[in-house]
């Protein structure tokens, strides 16, 4: 994501573009599979900084922010909030270095079906701004996406490094878009795409459109139970996906 990138400019009439939609993508299990390198990098960082990886081996990290993962697994060891917070910066610096080493040239990063084309097609539209809403810290997001060539297409984003609570991230992305557009974009003009019930809940909590895709570790049946506005097995049928996303 380039800090100098700009979404579509405001119209002359009152500086408002009511037709603009912000489409926010999750990363792991949605855009890509990194084949477990993120968990391995966090395990390394936890051991190096805190001397333990806590309950990480059995922890359900699906849809969680990176700070939430670290906090939850360390609390199982009896470590208090103050001690956890004191090591957090060093932990994520170590995590980023290890993740970069594990990803290398990106052979372990797989773009999930249709996602690269959907992102590019949406980005080319004048009525759409493409962004990220992910539990990854910003450096982790960049490291995972750069090998795919998709990183420059995401013009705004909200990350685990912005807030431990995923529900707070839509407002972060909305605020960053406001700085670029010069006006507020209401949440009913925001679409959040992810592969877990946490992504659906995140959209529901702010009034955004919830789009689920069954390319992650949750089966379609579990996603259906959370009643997303749209549900796809994958994004391989690019034309159908883009039509559905832009119609709403």
Task: Classify 54 in phi/psi space as left (phi over 0), alpha (psi -120 to 50) or beta.
Answer: left
Helix (H, G, I), strand (E, B) or coil at 211: strand
Name residues whose C-beta falls within 8 Å of residue 231's C-beta, 6 or more positions apart in sequence.
211, 212, 213, 214, 220, 223, 224
Per-residue pLDDT 10s for the chain (248 aa) are 444 344 333 333 334 455 899 999 999 999 999 999 999 999 999 999 999 999 999 999 999 999 999 999 999 999 999 999 999 999 999 999 999 999 999 999 999 999 999 999 999 999 999 999 999 999 999 999 999 999 999 999 999 999 999 999 999 999 999 999 999 999 999 999 999 999 999 999 999 999 999 999 999 999 999 999 999 999 999 999 999 999 86
Amino acid 19: pLDDT: 80
User: How far is it, in rounded angstroms, from Cα 151 to Cα 180?
Assistant: 18
Instruction: Report the CATH superfamily, name and number, of domain 37-103.
Output: Putative phosphatase; domain 2 (1.10.150.240)
Class of domain 21-34+109-247 as given by CATH: alpha beta
| Half-sphere exposure in the Cβ direction for 80 (13 Å, CA) | 2
Query: What are the residue boundaries of the structural domains of the chain, listed by start?
Result: 21-34+109-247, 37-103
Amino acid 77: pLDDT: 96
Quick one: which of 33, 213, 217, 215 has its CA closest to 110? 33
Amino acid 6: pLDDT: 41
Amino acid 140: pLDDT: 98
Total length of the chain? 248
Amino acid 15: pLDDT: 41
Which is it for strands 209-213 and 156-158: parallel, antiparallel or unpaired? Answer: unpaired
Buried b (16+ CB within 10 A) or exposed e, 195-222: bbbbbbbbbbbbebbbbbbbbbebeeee
Name residues whose C-beta falls within 8 Å of residue 170's C-beta, 6 or more positions apart in sequence.
24, 133, 158, 187, 190, 192, 202, 203, 205, 206, 208
User: How far is it, in rounded angstroms, from Cα 137 to Cα 38?
Assistant: 11
């Amino acid at each position: 994501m380039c800090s100098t990138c700009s979404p579509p400019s405001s119209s002359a009439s009152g500086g408002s573009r009511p037709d603009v939609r912000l489409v926010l993508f999750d990363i792991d299990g949605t855009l890509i599979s990194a084949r477990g390198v993120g968990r391995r990098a966090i395990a390394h960082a936890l051991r190096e900084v805190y001397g333990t990886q806590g309950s990480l081996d059995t922890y359900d990290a699906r849809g969680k922010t990176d700070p939430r993962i670290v906090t939850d697994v360390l609390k199982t060891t009896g470590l208090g909030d103050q001690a956890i917070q004191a090591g957090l910066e060093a932990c994520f610096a170590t995590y980023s270095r290890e993740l970069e080493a594990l990803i290398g040239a990106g052979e372990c990063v797989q773009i999930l079906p249709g996602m690269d084309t959907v992102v590019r097609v949406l980005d080319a539209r004048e009525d759409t701004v493409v962004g990220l809403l992910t539990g990854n810290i910003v450096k982790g997001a960049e490291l995972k996406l750069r090998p795919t060539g998709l990183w420059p297409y995401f013009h705004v984003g909200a990350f685990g490094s912005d807030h431990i609570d995923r529900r707070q991230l839509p407002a972060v992305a909305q605020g960053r878009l406001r700085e670029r557009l010069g006006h507020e974009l209401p949440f009913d003009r925001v679409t959040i795409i992810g592969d877990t019930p946490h992504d659906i809940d995140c959209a529901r909590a702010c009034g955004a459109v919830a789009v689920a895709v069954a390319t992650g570790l949750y089966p379609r049946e579990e996603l259906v139970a959370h009643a997303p506005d749209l549900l796809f097995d994958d994004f391989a049928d690019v034309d159908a996906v883009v039509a559905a996303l832009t119609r709403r």
